[in-house]
Structure 1
Amino acid sequence: MKAHTLGESIILPACKKIVSTMLGNEAALKISKIPLSDDTVRRRILEMSSDIEKNVSGNKLHSSDFALQVDETTDITNKAQLIAFVRFINENEITNQFLFCKELSVTTKGEDVFNILNDYLDKWQLSWKSCVGICTDGAPSMVGCIKGLVSFIKKKNENVIVTHCFLHREALMSKTLGENLREVLDEVLKMVNFIKVRPAKSRLFEKICTNMESQHKRLLLHTEVRWLSRGKVLTRVHELRQELLVFFEAMKQSYFCDLLQCKFWIAKLQYLADIFQHLNILNTSIQGKGQNVLTSTDKIKAFQKKLHVWKSAAIKESTSEYSLTLTEEEELAAVSTDRGLMMKYKEWSLEAFWISIRKEHVAISKKALTVLLQFSTSYLCELGFSNLATIKCKKRGTLECIDEEMRVCLSNIRPNIEKISQAHQAHVSH
């Protein structure tokens, strides 16, 4: 009896903390009423994950078209993990939902990714014909025309719309700087690395900033992995340019001193800091909940118009790749002249509006919903990777399968705690 009580006193708080983090305090309170054994936490997670998975893959996806978002990463134990999210119509709204997190055991080729996706859809008897879109980061293993993931999916459904993550496209574009601006960026990074490479230099620079009553005391490191870092590094260097000049004079670094005293170089630095700051704002605005291809496209077009003002030059309008059939044009004409529907269009969200008329105007609403179902970024996968790093940390590096933990952590659908609890009988102490 003492051992049983001691086990509960140790395991119960850990279980409550995990459930509270994943599902909230109310669910944690209900879970705390269930007696625990050594493997109870694991079993409960498996049961909640199974309940969520059946609710999504076993029920909801069978009655709706869906779009997929996939990406892969390497966890703390150097194992490749494939994460997938699904976007579908759930009753009267479009919803995003975690699908799975599977280990890529050997290679990360397009065929390997496809096999995992295909096996999962087969397991739940889901058809590729219902898949209307796939969003990836644009890596060759994903979009390669011969052996990429998309090529295998196209064999199953040639009508699948492939979208390249907006964030990754912008990140690739931002790397194509002109030679003059690239030189400025490289020189800024050399300055930062010169100081950050040695703790003694970092402490000296911090002391100079303190003596000069600067707003900041430290520089920021640039990393290609974190897409916001480039703009933040440039802004910080520009704000601390006087402090940097004092530091490099003390270090007798004449090359860096000449740059910081050159007005033309400072002007180019300021331009880079400004443009990357605007790009960071754009990037931040097109990720998060409620974003789709249309909203992200609108924000990018708005950014293009700002460039038009800044440069005082015309920017050609991008052409739409979705042409309408005669039936769709007729239905669109009917919708656009219906005053009641126009009022709804102005007051409701795009998703709610098109879902509400899909029975009356089948063709045009299907076209609109096919566009709205597309993922615009791989934001959810990046969010999942952050949770993966938390769940599979150094102390839990021996975990072989984390699919269930990831599903309970990331799913928008809450498991039926009461139903699961009723299936278990409490063990009365003897």
Structure 2
Amino acid sequence: MLSHKLAKQSKPFSDGEFLTDCMVEAAIILCPENKAQFENVSLSRRTVTRRVEVIDEELSGELSKKAEDFTYFSIALDESTDIKDTAQLLIFIRGINDRFEIVEEFLAMESMRGTTRGSDLYDKVSGCLERLNLPWTKLLNVTTDGSPNLTGKNVGLLQRIQDRVREDSPNSDLIFLHYIIHQEALCKSVLELDHVAKTVVKLVNFIRARGLNHRQFIQLLEESETEHTDVLYHSNVCWLSLGKVFRRVWDLRGEIWTFLETVGKADEFADLQDPAWLCDFAFGVDVMSHLNDLNLKLQGKNMFVHELYSFMQAFKAKLTPFSQQMTNKCFTHFPTLDTMDVPLCQSNSYSITLTDLHSEFNRRFSDFAKIEHELDLVSSPFSFDREKAPVDVQLELIDIQCDPALKEKFTTSTLDHFYCSLKETQFPNMRRHAQRMLVLFGSTYVCEQTFSVMNYNKSRYRSRLTDKHLSSVLRISTSDMTPDFDDLAKRGDRLNCSH
């Protein structure tokens, strides 16, 4: 259990010895008569390593057992490099069985020391599925971050997977989705706020990157008793970084200008006194705030695709009144911009920008739009137009909509529990359709989150961590499954072998 906690919290295996010392010191004070028992607890680096390996095997075996019952499954893929420049392909699986039990777990981390072409990635993915004895015919969806080696038309990974599935089921069409949070972040490119971001980032770097400047700026904030204590660094890989940087710099713009005048650098940042630039800056603060709110809603594990898509659809619908109100110089939903005297030409320009953002959302989320009809059928069966439903579910849909008991159950239970309650003999097609939609991966958020765990574990202070042990740590730290510690403890000959 202690080895599991060390791995779960991404602690070095050698910390087990420190943990033993802490327990012994506590035992000396609390129960000195039991000190010897605590001293006999083996948590050496090698012991912790072996036990982490065994826990990894236990969790892998548990996942294999659950995978045997999958009716359908989906996978999420993302590829990045670790601190040793080794390409690591993370694979997550999301499966559903006839009881509508949904399992979303880390499947594998595949290390690639050579090329990372579509064929190389396909070999790794196919190998993982074969080890789990999962038939290709049950694969329903693949979600990626849209990189070329994954999505190439002819030789990319997705095309190879589609071809492999059609070998066993010629009429099967996989659902390919592009990571929804990544798409949302790419939509920001149409805002054309580069001239604002360039100045803001340059300003933050001037303050934060030089020790003397930073100390003087902090002193100024302390003297003025400002609520915010510092400006934030911007990172291109941090989802919400730019929006937070914009907000903090805007709130501190008065103090920043005073500081620039003090150090004689005001001329280099004359934009801070330009009314037109400040209006653009205020617009950027507000629109990035709206995007950040959307981004936070899209983050999380075990979310259904229709939930993610509804958040995105709601935001897209808001862009239309935003654009119209901007034309009329109504800034109700843009409180920062409302503090500025905005010329009509600029407000019209912002209106056009919001319209362009709306169009960009339509373009980038076309893959989700293809399955929107099916998602609505599953998420809102009682309001769905039965004439627009697929022929095979129309009669079942009529029975559902005319049953008041089912309507009551739909409002009081979760979606998966509702469809699980439908009788297989009476509603086989609706159950199958629900399984197909509920098992979809709408996001590779779990992959991105796991890469953060990977970079934390395999850092420059721990760069010799092997790929095998890194994979074990990632499985343990991200898994929702709990090992059977009683069963593991019975394998004493394996866990307590001599060093």
| Same-fold call, TM cutoff 0.5 | yes
Moved more, 257-266 or 105-114: 257-266
User: 8 Å contact 2:199–2:269 — kept in the other structure?
Assistant: no
Give 2:213's aligned residue.
201
Displacement after TM superposition at 1:265 (Å): 2.1
Aligned equivalent of 2:460, options 377, 389, 394: 394
**CA gap 1:155/1:61 in 2 versus in 1, 3 angstroms:** same
Aligned equivalent of 1:169, options 179, 183, 199: 183
Corresponding position: 1:423 with 2:491: yes
Corresponding position: 1:65 with 2:72: yes
Give 2:224's aligned residue.
212
Give 1:354's aligned residue.
419
Aligned equivalent of 2:300, options 276, 288, 295: 288
User: 8 Å contact 2:75–2:92 — kept in the other structure?
Assistant: yes
Give 1:108's aligned residue.
116
Matches within 5 A, 1:168-187: 168-178=182-192, 181-187=193-199
**CA gap 1:239/1:424 in 2 versus in 1, 3 angstroms:** same
Identity of matched residues, %: 29
Residue ranges of structure 1 left out of the alignment (5+ in a row): 1-11
User: 8 Å contact 1:144–1:151 — kept in the other structure?
Assistant: yes
Give 2:261's aligned residue.
249
Distance 1:137 1:358 in 2: 38
Matches within 5 A, 1:33-72: 39-72=46-79
User: 8 Å contact 1:65–1:132 — kept in the other structure?
Assistant: yes
Distance 1:99 1:73 in 2: 16
Displacement after TM superposition at 1:338 (Å): 1.6
TM-score (norm 2): 0.75
Displacement after TM superposition at 1:258 (Å): 3.5
Give 1:345's aligned residue.
410
1:167 counterpart letter in structure 2? I
Q: What's the secondary structure of 2:492's corresponding residue?
A: coil
Q: What's the secondary structure of 2:191's corresponding residue?
A: coil
1:39 counterpart letter in structure 2? R
Q: What's the secondary structure of 1:168's corresponding residue?
A: helix
Distance 2:150 2:39 in 1: 44
TM-score (norm 1): 0.86
Q: Tell me the C-alpha RMSD between the 2 structures.
A: 3.0
Matches within 5 A, 1:3-18: 15=3, 18=6
Q: Structure 1, residues 60-90: CA drift from partner, whole Å, max 9, x if none?
A: 3443311111112222222121111111125
Give 2:385's aligned residue.
none
1:73 counterpart letter in structure 2? S
Aligned equivalent of 2:135, options 127, 130, 148: 127
Distance 2:115 2:150 in 1: 13
Distance 2:178 2:496 in 1: 53
Aligned equivalent of 1:368, options 397, 418, 434: 434
Counting matched residue pairs gives: 410
Q: Structure 1, residues 32-55: CA drift from partner, whole Å, max 9, x if none?
A: 987567632222222221121122
Q: What's the secondary structure of 2:105's corresponding residue?
A: strand
Residue ranges of structure 2 left out of the alignment (5+ in a row): 12-19, 24-37, 166-171, 326-354, 375-388
Matches within 5 A, 1:140-151: 140-151=148-159
Distance 2:428 2:226 in 1: 62
Q: Structure 1, residues 64-123: CA drift from partner, whole Å, max 9, x if none?
A: 311111112222222121111111125443231111112112122222221111011112
